[in-house]
Each structure stands twice: as C-alpha cells, then as structure tokens.
Structure 1
Amino acid sequence: MTDDRTDQRAADLLPEERSAGGSSDPRAQAEAILAESDEREADLEAAPSSFLEHRTSGQTSTPGEGTR
C-alpha cells in the first residue's frame, strides 16, 4: 500500500467511518479500510455477507423491457 494512497484515504474518511472506527489514528484506520478493500477486489468471495453480481452490458435490460 502506498503512503500517498493511505494519506489520501485518511484525509477522506467519512463521518461515519470516523465515529465508528473508534480510533484516534485516522491513518491506521485508512490502512485497515484499504487492506480490506484490496482483499475484496482480489477475491470477490472475500466479502462474507455480500453478493456481487457481475454482468456485461449485453446482459443488462433496458428501461421498459419486460413490462406489459
């Protein structure tokens, strides 16, 4: 993880991340957030309670499609 990336993420913590983190160290919190994000990006099954559906543009529907 690069220092610039971590520093930027620490500076951009959302208010709920700041309050839920319970950490007085935003940089450490940012490192943890980025590490989890990187893990989920590398392994789509790493997010235990989420379901990610991947479709190509050809598999999507257009507005109004399927209505009567």
Structure 2
Amino acid sequence: MAREQDDDERTAGRAELLPEEQAVESADPEAQAREVLRDSDRRSEFPEPTMRRRPEETT
C-alpha cells in the first residue's frame, strides 16, 4: 500500500504540466504522468550503456 501511495503522490506531482506540455495540452495529464514516471523508473533500473570515446575521437 505504501508503494501505491508513493506512486499516487508522484503521479499527482508529475501531472502538473510543464510549460511546453501546456502549450500542446494533454487530454489526460495523470495518464501521461504515469507513463512518464514508468519510463523514468525503467531507465533508472536498466540504464542504456554509455558510449565512451577517447579525446582524439571527438573532433
């Protein structure tokens, strides 16, 4: 239950649209927030590998 409450609080906080999101509007800000947070959690749990370059490869 605590996890569900935390998720609800995170969703409510994220459902407040950012200025760029307000510009295009959202039919369902809470559903959008849930999906953004789900994606963020997935990326945090399973980060994509970072490509490493040597300094001479960046020019």
Length-normalised TM-score, structure 2: 0.60
| 1:45 shift after superposition | 1.1
4+ aligned runs moved over 6 Å, structure 1: none
| 1:28 shift after superposition | 0.4
Higher Rg: 1
Amino acid at match of 1:16: E
Partner residue in 2 for 1:8: 13
Structure with greater proportional helix content = 2
Percent identity, aligned pairs only, is 45
| 1:17 shift after superposition | 2.7
Length-normalised TM-score, structure 1: 0.53
Aligned residues: 47
Gaps of 5+ in 2: 53-59
| Residues 18, 26 of structure 1: 8 Å contact kept | no
Gaps of 5+ in 1: 54-68
The answer to which structure, 1 or 2, has the higher relative contact order (CA under 8 A, 6+ apart) is: 2
CA RMSD for the aligned pairs?
Answer: 2.7
